[in-house]
Structure 1
Amino acid sequence: MKKLTISSLIAFMLVTGFGCNSNKSNSENSTDNTSASGTASDSSGMTSSDTTASSTMNATPTNQSANDFMLKAASGGMMEVELGKMAQEKGSNADVKAFGQKMVEDHGKANAELKTLAAAKNVTLPVDLIAEHQKHVDAMKAMSGADFDKHYMSMMVDDHKKDIAEFEKATQNEDAEVKGFASKTLPVLKMHLDMAQKANAKVSK
């Protein structure tokens, strides 16, 4: 009888001990799952926040002077391309025609870069020339041959001097991207001025 009682007591202790361990294990598993769930939730929240922050950083606003520069540079670039095409058709001098082709190539490339920059800053560029630039295009539509050569090259000298002054000013702008675009384009404009002056010296005689 005593043996039976002792055996029963041992069996009871084993069962009770196992139950405690089981409850402890279940409790730990529950805590771990809760912790993992919280971690996943936190991670998800951070990802959403990071995405929002990244989106905000990409939307870089521009200042008014940078905005004005882009608008005028866009119209000026379109005028250069349009007149360049006209020079290849109406010009009679080989240097004038070559200069016109250079304008189409270089300003076409610069116009595309400026369009990309403006889009990144939510700046809407003009699709038509401003009055100042349209006036030059209209005046030269009625010209051809030597008259066109003289007027075009003289205008290109004056125009590129103005462009260089505006782009040099833009290299000091607070907007880093606009400043970079102006700095990159400025040497090309100076090269154009040198070409224009040489061609103008030939056709103005």
Structure 2
Amino acid sequence: MKKIAFNVLLAASLFTAVACNETKKEDSTEVAEDQNEAKFDEKMEDDTEFAVAAADGGMMEVQLGELAQKNGSAAAVKDFGKMMVEDHGKANDELKALAQQKNITLPASLSEDKQEMYDDLAKKTGQEFDKAYADHMVKDHKKDIDEFKEEAEDGKNADIKAWAAGKVPVLEMHLQKAQAMQDAVK
């Protein structure tokens, strides 16, 4: 009888450990979106999704900026990376404070697709990294500008809308510098 009870307890412990391990693998962005969906009505859905995506993108910009300073070879790449860490780090802090005010849950780590992009770039160094990083920064900032403009125009929450609008000029400046960096490393 003691052996059966011990085996049942052991099996339950193993299932619990596996279940806990599985939740760690869950995409932090998806978790944040699910939590926000449960807290807010449809009116705020687009705003909370924007905030989650902006946080995910901002975290990636900082992490890639740090990587650029380490793996890049061109001064333009290292300088751009430093600017990304500073500017997006500041924007991330502002967004965290705003999200806290609005009770919006933000992701704690990169989404799976952003992590894959980071991992791919982390395998590169020197000129190969410089070109891939520059290409990614141009493409990413074009997409970000469109998303931030859309939120600034169509957002329902006045504070999130204003935050997004305030970031558009900085993102446009980043795009110009990313394009110059891209030309420099070709």
TM-score scaled by length of structure 1: 0.69
Where does residue 161 of structure 2 map in the other structure?
Answer: 179
2:173 is the alignment partner of 1:188: no
| Corresponding residue to 1:70 among 28, 48, 51 | 51
Q: Deviations over 1:145-185 (max 9, x none)?
A: 00000000000000000000000000021210011100111
The structural deviation recorded for 1:132 is: 2.1
Counterpart of 2:113 in 1: which secondary structure?
helix
Q: CA deviation at 1:91?
A: 0.4
Matched, 1:109 2:90: yes
Runs of 4+ in 1 over 4 A off after TM superposition: none
Residues paired across the two proteins, number: 145
SS in 2 for 1:127: coil
Structure 2 length as normaliser, TM-score? Answer: 0.76
- Which residue type is aligned with residue 168 of structure 1? K
Matches of 2:158 and 2:44, distance apart in 1: 11
Alpha carbon RMSD of aligned pairs, Å?
Answer: 1.3
User: Taking every aligned residue pair, what percent have the same amino acid on both sides?
Assistant: 48
Match of 1:147 among 112, 128, 136: 128
Any unmatched runs of 5+ in structure 2?
Answer: 1-39
Q: Give the CA deviation at 1:136.
A: 1.0
**Within the alignment, does 1:100 sit opposite 2:77 as a pair?**
no
Structure with more relative contact order (C-alpha pairs < 8 Å, separation 6 or more): 2
Displacement of 1:199 after TM fit? 0.6
Q: Aligned partner of 2:164: which letter?
A: A
CA distance in 1, matches of 2:168, 2:75: 26
Runs (5+) with no aligned partner, structure 1: 1-59
1:1-205 map, 5 Å: 63-172=44-153, 173-204=155-186
Distance 2:122 2:184 in 1: 22
> Which residue identity lines up with residue 123 of structure 1 in the other structure?
I
Amino acid at match of 1:202: A
Say which one has the larger Rg.
1
Distance 1:128 1:104 in 2: 16
1:114 and 1:132 map into 2 onto residues whose CA distance is 21
Deviations 1:119-156 (A, max 9, x none): 00111100111122112101011110000000000000
